[in-house]
Amino acid sequence: MTKKPFSFFLELLFVLFFFLITSTILIEIYAKMVQILQTDTYRQDAMVIAQNKIETSASVGEYSQEMHDNIYDVKISNVNRNEYCIRIYVKEKKVLDYKYYQEENH
């Protein structure tokens, strides 16, 4: 039995169609993973910045700090007497919202 050219063409279309669907799904997964990796990197950098600000007893206010070619906007506010809140933004997106308690120095 010989195959007709039309059936060969139809099989080729099915193979190309499934290849296209598979490659589209893989590209979407890759793009999502890159986005998650970038968000985690921003969050790690923000935690380092927050730790430095807490250790140096930074006062209430707004600061900018550059780390790994990104500019982080740091906003420290006073919640209660000894309770503070650090909010860190990168590219106008909040990546860290951290509250901490600082003991009084006697």
58-89 pLDDT, tens digit per residue, is 788 898 988 888 899 999 888 888 888 889 99
Per residue in 5-19, pLDDT (tens digit) is 778 888 999 999 999
In a domain, 106, yes or no: no
In a domain, 12, yes or no: yes
Instruction: Tell me the residue range of the domain where 44 lies.
Output: 5-101
For residue 64, give the amino acid letter: S
Structural domain count of the chain: 1
pLDDT in the model for residue 105: 62
In a domain, 83, yes or no: yes
Non-local CB neighbours of 74 within 8 Å, separated by 6+ positions:
49, 50, 53, 62, 63, 64, 65, 86, 87, 88
- Check: pTM over 0.85? Answer yes or no: no
